[in-house]
A and B are shown apart, each in its own frame.
Chain A
Amino acid sequence: MSLETLTYLVVGLSFALYIGIAFASTARNTGDFYVAGKHVHPIANGMATAADWMSAASFISMAGLIAFMGYDGTVYLMGWTGGYVLLALLLAPYLRKFGKFTVPEFIGERYYSNTARVVAVICLIVISFTYVGGQMRGVGIVFARFLNMEIEWGLLVGMGVVFLYAVLGGMKGITYTQVAQYCVLIFAYTVPAVFISLQVTNVAVPQLAFGSEVAAGGGYLLAKLDQIVVDLGFAAYTESTRSRVDVFFIAFALMVGTAGLPHVIVRFFTVPKVRDARMSAGWALLFIAILYTTAPSVAALARLNLTNTIQHGPVGEETANLVYAERPQWFKTWEATKLLTFEDKNGDGRIQYYNDANPEFAERAEAFGWQGNELEVDRDIIVLANPEIASLPNWVIALVAAGGIAAALSTAAGLLLVISAAVSHDLCKGVFWRGISERGELLIGRISAAVAILCAGYLGYNPFGFVGQVVALAFGLAAASLFPVILLGIFSLRVNKYGAIAGMLSGLVFTVGYIVYFKGVFIEPLAENVRENWLFGISPEGIGGIGALINFAVAFAVSALTREPPEHVRDLVQRIRVPK
């Protein structure tokens, strides 16, 4: 069977499975639609959370980002896992005790204000759309590569599938499809990783492999990798190139952002008890950690593989670079998708892959007769091309395609659901149309999910950055707007509605302003995105941490100057602090 047929088959079977599950768990009421009736077992919820959480960015982009960032990629690993500690300790159990449907609903009741609720909805929608665009892009890329479809068609197919199970099944459908999607994606991620670890180091456990010796000789893998990339003018793999303060704040923003992401928080509304919410967070992180501890290993192994393939001998020796005409098959397949491009600048028919932005090395390279880096590698292909680079059987490649799609779809569905819940439950039922019947609310939930899918498709078609980068921005926003007010809503009796509203708005405006200023999301950037221009040397990716601090400070200051919350709100806070 050809690879393409096999891929269609595997991806098709996985779709059939998801849709089957969706039909079996159709939502019959709003409780099902928003929180799966609160009957989800903590371990199942852990898996669903892991799939919900691990997006196209985690599956497709993260190892690639780490492969080219080396130590600096740590911010993603640490940031996207450490947030679960905050979530488990500071938010999840209390929000479960609160026991309603959505995050803005909590903010609205705790801060006794529909304005606060609407502001929270706005924050939620901005965050979720920023994030969902990246997911749809991921779906498009996977389809384009593995099924030879145009990215636009891949997007449409992805939108169709999500539409079916998110709109029909709501949270209930999503939960059980996510459990299935977790199994698909974790299998698809770890199998190639184990094979590649074995090939390169003879160690089967990826987590240990990248700390082991290279089977072909030459000592420890990381030391060898450091050596090779430095020889080509890149920064050493295990060393930092960013300033310490920037790494610190990016990790901080990602952690706090993770804990403030509505589609993750809401997963903890679906378990039966408070103690289930605590345990479930542990399970979720365990399932996530399986992928997150594998990813840095994949990154190091892939970087070594790629560099060794292109530069197979000592740097500067004429025959040490790969002859373009003799490039391996995987190279050709990836060229076809334009995610790998070669331009023979010095016309020697060989590929030179080095850091021409390093002036010192560029000078040496010129002496070799090199006239600039000739290979552009899109970071996203590191994971997708890995099985081919390691010459794994076709079924593994097909599985990786299904895994990438599973990761993107599960996250997209989770995001679309919180968007639709915010519109139908918070805006319609909660604020503008209080008398709406449950059936009406359910219908509006479904319609808004459908509209959200269309918008997501549009954002996937017109993305504004790498999948990983776009997602990083969503975190900054979540960190700066939602996390602080939820936390204060539980741990402070004094913070009132004025503080919360002012806090959210200042955090959001500051963070969005800073990001747009340097990255120019819808407009041209106003300043060059370089370290010299940054506030305290913090890049736009890390600014959410400062946004969160501003949010805290403003919330406290404004609350101190205004009336304290009424008695019933203080009772509410006391009530959610105890499980019984």
Chain B
Amino acid sequence: MKKPTYWRDNLRLVGICLAVWFAVSFGCGILLVDVLNQITIGGFKLGFWFAQQGSIYVFVVLIFVYAVRMGKIDRKHGVDEVDGVDGVDEEDGDEQ
């Protein structure tokens, strides 16, 4: 089988992350809120907690996970940026 391309690996990671994003916010926080509200944790109804707290925590973690995983994919395909050199496009605007 052919080795997956960089772009395919990327799309796969993005797809997984967006599925989680959708599940915690639109899923747990909105569509399933009534079901989850049957469960309470401390003083929180679970659906309400997801809507006003939980989804936000997951979003933060999700972006960092994506950034780290994406760094690994960059290195696997040898397209990561070189350290020390400032960016990849020096032609525009750093110096006058």
Contacts and interface: CB of A to CB of B under 8 A. Distances in A.
A492 interface: no
* Main DSSP-derived SS at the B contact region: helix
Given A82-B59, A212-B43, A580 B92 contact: no
Contact of B66 (A35, A210, A278): A278
B48 to A, nearest CB: 5
Given A78-B56, A238-B48, A285 B63 contact: yes
Given A244-B30, A248-B26, A222 B67 contact: no
Interface residues of B, number: 51
Interface in B42-56: 42-45, 48-49, 51-53, 55-56
Contact of A578 (B6, B56, B66, B86): B6
Contacts of B63: 84-85, 88-89, 278, 281-282, 285
Interface in A544-562: none
A337 to B, nearest CB: 29
Contacts of A81: 55-56, 59
B15 to A, nearest CB: 10
Contacts of B41: 211
A31 B21 contact: no
Interface string A18-56: 000000000011110011011100000000000000000
B81 to A, nearest CB: 5
A88 B18 CA distance: 11
Contact of A222 (B14, B43, B86, B94): B43
B93 A31 contact: yes
A286 B93 CA distance: 30
A343 interface: no
A213 interface: yes
A438 B96 contact: yes
B14 A89 contact: yes
A88 B88 contact: no
Contact of A580 (B49, B51, B80, B96): B80
A74 B29 contact: yes
Contacts of B51: 71, 74, 77-78
A221 B44 CA distance: 9
B60 A289 contact: yes
B88 A220 contact: no
Interface string B59-96: 11011101100110010001111100011110011111
Contact of B87 (A99, A100, A252): A99
Contacts of B79: 578-580
A142 to B, nearest CB: 26
B30 A90 contact: no
Contacts of A66: 52
A175 to B, nearest CB: 15
Nearest to A296: B52
A: contact size bracket: 35 or more
Nearest to B42: A211
A207 B29 CA distance: 17
A315 interface: no
Nearest to B67: A278
A240 B47 CA distance: 11
Contacts of B39: none
Nearest to A577: B7
Contact of A273 (B44, B49, B70, B81): B81
Contacts of B53: 207, 293, 296
A147 interface: no
Contacts of A207: 53
B86 A272 contact: yes
A417 to B, nearest CB: 15
A316 to B, nearest CB: 27
Contacts of A282: 60, 63-64, 66-67
Contacts of B44: 211, 222
Interface of A: 28-31, 34-35, 37-39, 66, 71, 73-74, 77-78, 81-82, 84-86, 88-90, 93, 97, 99-101, 207-208, 210-213, 220-223, 238, 240, 244, 247-248, 251-252, 255, 272-275, 278-279, 281-282, 285-286, 289, 292-293, 296, 438, 577-580
15 contacts: A29-B93, A39-B86, A74-B29, A77-B51, A211-B42, A212-B43, A222-B44, A238-B45, A240-B33, A251-B25, A251-B26, A289-B56, A577-B7, A577-B10, A580-B88
